Amino acid sequence: MTKAMTGAKMVVQALIDQGVDTVFGYPGGAVLPIYDEIFQQNSIKHVLVRHEQGAVHAAEGYARSTGKPGVALVTSGPGATNAVTGLTDALMDSIPIVVLTGQVPTFMIGSDAFQECDTVGITRPCTKHNWLVKETDKLSSVLHEAFHIATSGRPGPVVIDIPKDVQFATGTYTEARQVETHYNPQVKGDMEMITELAAAMEKAKRPLFYTGGGVINSGPAASQLLRELVAATGFPITSTLMGLGCYPASGDNWLGMLGMHGLYEANMAMHDCDLMINIGARFDDRITGRLDAFSPGSTKAHIDIDASSINKVIKVDIPILGDVAHVLEDLLNVWKARGRKTDKENVQKWWHQINDWKKVDCLAFEQKGKVIKPQYALSRLEELTKKHDRYICTEVGQHQMWAAQYLGFEDPNRWMTSGGLGTMGYGFPASIGVQMGHPDALVINVAGEASWLMNMQELGTAMQYGLPVKQFILNNERLGMVRQWQELLHGERYSSSWSESLPDFVKLAEAFGAKGIICDDPDNLDDAIMEMLTHDGPVLFDCLVEKHENCFPMIPSGKPHNEMLLGENADVANAIKSDGAVMV
Amino acid sequence: MSPLKIKKGATSHSAYDLRPNFSDKEERHTLAVLVENEPGVLSRVIGLFAGRGYNIDSLTVAEVDHLGHRSRITIVTSGTPQIIVQIKAQLGRIVDVHKVNDLTVEGPSVERELALFKVTGTGNDRIEAIRLADIFRASVVDSTLESFVFEITGTPEKIDAFAELMRPLGLEEIARTGVAALSRGAVA
Ligand SMILES: Cc1ncc(C[n+]2csc(CCOP(=O)(O)OP(=O)(O)O)c2C)c(N)n1
Ligand SMILES: [Mg+2]
């Protein structure tokens, strides 16, 4: 059925038809007609953020925690340019979001009109796709197609730029099922390749699953199938930062996160394995370390929905183009039909080796004295919250890596962190998005004091909507990760890495009407965390921690996996040679 | 979310081989990219090459199917085999791209380019220019007492060769279209 309505009404109608319940946004002249329509309906909640970057990160947090596309709405010009960091973040981490931007009326485009910018031009390289819609008749089909493109294949952000006259004009509304699209990425993997992988699994002596965000993006079925596959084969499994939760941290075969700040056993297993099964990860430079020394003796299989991820940096032997859940289902069936074989004896030996590596206990730390160690703070947070229905966001820096190391994730969609772009300021707005998607859950943002300040204005949003997000700030009064690199690479010349003139976080919280807690004593930490958990409302927790703690283990840039630095006693000064120092 | 209708014949399989034999030698490839004729599509393609540091040796674009709303972009690029595979895969990711064909590896193909040459001169140089133009089957599309404009079609190599010969004879200006290419035989 086709209906006549204004462009602005179409926007709201299409969002309703796409099952959207929440929009994060900020109004302005070029989106007033859409805001007028939002005002006159009750199906969609609008969350007024305090900065458009916050809207996009909130939409990302909503998307990552619910598995549904996130939606943001911003005005033209500065509204659109403020959205760019969030769009790039979502592109790098393959997060499905739909961002609607207002634009000056079509007859003023190109005239340097007030609050005009070339939104589609600016966002072309940081979106999966974008549109400038110049006719109201086309608007609804573009809206529907936008959701399809954002969520199918490798997910990503899309932008729809809507001039104001298009919002006012009346046109014909097209329903989603009437919209034709040619975008239909392959989801089933090639059976020949899948069979080849099954055969390789039967022969492998030192196999390893290396999983990533693709497992999470593929949906809950993918995690389920992965767990089944790991249990059935008995192979060890590690994951990237993006994949945490696809296999439970309490699972028997879990080696922990790998990569630059990954666990010793996970990185050693990557280096020494003879069959690497990459499932939805992309051989990112945080994972591979030095390329020519990356897992030198392994046969590499790679399951990915995006052909351009295959053979991009690491040449693989068994490429499988397809969706993780589809491929894993076929892989399990093929492997079972062939008799469920593995080289048990050698895999057993492999586990002995891995268990020896585990004995290194690379995350061990000692909480002595009166200053809280960040690792201790996170261990206590883990202990006191792991039984909750819990979602964790992070900012970017040392605290992010410690959170990945010391918190355990049992399920997918519980861990929201800016992986690819490394965006400081991501976590707080993301936690707002998560809480909107899960009103009754415990949502914690593990933050650094510097990152948190980057989007602190969103405390107003949390207050306005009564979102009880817990901001757990590991306050080292340092741009800690920058300081660590300066210590290791730049002769301890701490150029601009002190967080100075910090606010009194308790007073800051109170200024917004939120609760502030400060804790600087390990003996009081549990009580303080409990106070945070039992408070029904947003909490800003200022946890004063050791200022010069370094984050280990660490694979220095330009080094292979088996040359990782384990702790304070490591020869860090000589570890990073100048050829590695050029890398970030 | 409500699903859309997937068009018949929507491409999901790509033309590129995922398990090629990689060498480190630079190769020249001619790619035919069939795209939706949308505003911004050329910018997406060029932006991809610029953003990821790929080479463009030649690029031509024009609408080839008005009703079907399709344009064809012919790109001549060079890189190691691994880069060429990446380029094709990255092009394949662009939502407005329908098909990527590598004419260099997918069987024999024909390549043609058109060029206009402005050559000025008098006396023997002028006679020599017209004689060489004749050998190259270039035609004269404009002439004055001291100048010619030649039109020449052929492979890029032929046009390069013609340019070399014209240079000492008073070559003033060249305009080249860039390469257009098609696979040989009956199949598209
Ligand atoms: C927007 C942005 N700017 C700069 C950086 C570079 N950077 C990475 S970590 C970091 C320091 C973060 O400090 P803090 O939030 O206090 O976390 P800590 O490392 O101290 O735990 C900086 C500046 C970044 N990742 N993002
Ligand atoms: Mg800090």
Interface probe with B: pick from A124, A144, A308, most Cβ of B within 10 Å = A308
Closest residue in chain B to residue A182, using alpha carbons only = B10
* pLDDT value of position A332: 98
* pLDDT value of position A574: 54
* pLDDT value of position A163: 98
pLDDT of A557 higher than 90: no
- Ligand 2 mean position, distance from CA A209 (Å): 33
> Strand pairing partners for B101?
B32
Judged on CB neighbours under 10 Å (0-12, 13-18, 19+), B32 is buried
Q: B11, A128: Cβ pair inside 8 Å?
A: no
* Tens-place pLDDT, residues A110-151: 999 999 999 999 999 999 999 999 999 999 999 999 999 999
- Which structure tokens are listed for B72? 């064809």
* Tens-place pLDDT, residues A427-437: 999 999 999 99
- Ligand 2 mean position, distance from CA A541 (Å): 14
Ligand 1 atom 1: the closest Cα is on which residue? A424
d(CA A59, CA A279): 26
Q: Which residue type is seen at A385?
A: T
* pLDDT value of position A2: 64
pLDDT of A361 higher than 70: yes
Q: A69, B1: Cβ pair inside 8 Å?
A: yes
CB-closest option in B4, B14, B40 to A124 = B40
d(CA B113, CA B176): 7
State the average pLDDT for chain B.
Answer: 92
d(CA A288, CA A303): 17
Spell out which residues have Cβ within 5 A of ligand 2, the ion: A 448-449, 476, 478, 480
Query: Does the pTM exceed 0.90?
Result: yes
- Ligand 1 mean position, distance from CA A72 (Å): 25
pLDDT of A84 higher than 80: yes
CB of A29 closer than 8 Å to CB of A102: yes
The answer for A 276-305 residues in CB contact with B (under 8 A) is none
Q: Which ligand is nearest to the CA of A485?
A: 1
* Tens-place pLDDT, residues A251-279: 999 999 999 999 999 999 999 999 999 99
Instruction: Identify which of A163, A177, A181 has the alpha carbon closest to the alpha carbon of residue A17.
Output: A177
d(CA A99, CA B60): 33
Q: Which ligand is nearest to the CA of A481?
A: 1
Does A118 lie at the interface with B, CB-CB under 8 angstroms? Answer: no
Q: A124, B44: Cβ pair inside 8 Å?
A: yes
Q: Which residue type is seen at A6?
A: T
* Tens-place pLDDT, residues B9-39: 554 444 456 666 678 899 999 999 999 999 9
CB of B55 closer than 8 Å to CB of B77: yes
pLDDT of B92 higher than 50: yes
Helix axes B41-52, B81-93, angle to 10 degrees: 140
d(CA A191, CA A519): 57
Does A148 lie at the interface with B, CB-CB under 8 angstroms? Answer: yes
Ligand 1 atom 11: the closest Cα is on which residue? A479
Query: Would strands B147-154 and B139-144 be described as parallel, antiparallel, or unpaired?
Result: antiparallel
Cα distance from A186 to chain B (closest Cα, Å)? 5
